[in-house]
Every structure is written in structure tokens, then in C-alpha cells.
Copies of this chain bind each other. A is one copy, B any other.
Amino acid sequence: MARKKAAAHDENSPAYQRGMAQIRKQLGPMADAYIRNIKALAPEFAWVNVTFPFGELYPRDVIDLKTRELCTVAALTVQGFSLPELKLHIKAALRCGASRAQVAEIITQMIAYCGFPAATNALMTMKQVFDELDAEANDTRKKKKPASRGRRA
């Protein structure tokens, strides 16, 4: 006899919608593709990813989002192996109002709690994020100013 699955997962439910709204707020345009990617592999994983941290924990008002994201950056730094997730949350920290210098500062502070190897892993991940953001900003600038560049020529 097969037991039933625990819960029907309704993506139109308030719980899921609240989670998706929050994840878009923190991760920006990449949020939907990120969840879609996970859902294709394991729908249950995607469901809890949306409804639990983003639908349940992050929207609470006890601590502001910028502080929450810096705490997450600190946590992922000391773990040493959480580099793909760290990339997401460095971007999220910047979106939530942290400066690049503040991200670098928290990673540097973590040397005291995880040593240089994990902190250096995080620093190099931070560099990748900053380089990607700079490249995107560069692309955007180029697309926006074709006329002005034409005039200079």
C-alpha cells in the first residue's frame, strides 16, 4: 500500500506566491530561472526552497534584509564549500543595499572564524561576482549609447 504524498503543492497558494515574490526581491531577474532549474530536477526540492527560506524566514520583520544578507554571506564564507550559493547571496546583499566594500569587509572579518582557506575561497568568489556585474554593466552601457559612440567616430 502506497502512502500518499504529504501535501498537494499549489503554486498559486499564498505560501508559494509569497516565497516567489521574496526570492525575486532578493535575487532579482535570475530568480525564476534559478527555481525552474531546480524544479526540473526535483520538484519537492524547489517547493521547499521557495516556501521555506523565502516564503517563511526572510519576509519576517525582526531584522532588515541587508543585515540578513550580510549574515548569510558570513555563514556561506565559513562553510568553505558553498561557493555557488555564495555567488547568489553576494548579489542579493548588493541588491539589498550593502556596498561592495561591506561585502569584502565581512569576508575579511570571517578570517578570524574560519581561517584563510575558506575566506580566500569566498574572496575569489566575490571577485567573480564583481567581474560579472562589471561586465553586465558594461554591456548595458554599450547597448544604451550606440548613437553617442557613432557621433564620436
A residues in contact (CB < 8 Å) with B: 2-7, 15, 18, 38, 41-42, 44-45, 47-49, 52-53, 55-63, 67-68, 70-82, 84-86, 101-102, 104-121, 123-124, 126-127
Contacts and interface: CB of A to CB of B under 8 A. Distances in A.
Contact of A105 (B38, B55, B60, B77): B60
A49 B60 CA distance: 16
Nearest to A5: B60
Contacts of A118: 79, 81-82
A42 B100 CA distance: 10
A136 to B, nearest CB: 19
Contacts of A116: 49, 53, 85, 112-113
Q: How many copies of this chain does one complex carry?
A: 6
A78 B81 contact: no
A61 B3 CA distance: 5
Given A42-B104, A42-B108, A80-B81, A114 B75 contact: yes
10 contacts: A4-B61, A53-B112, A63-B106, A67-B70, A71-B106, A76-B113, A78-B79, A84-B117, A85-B120, A112-B116
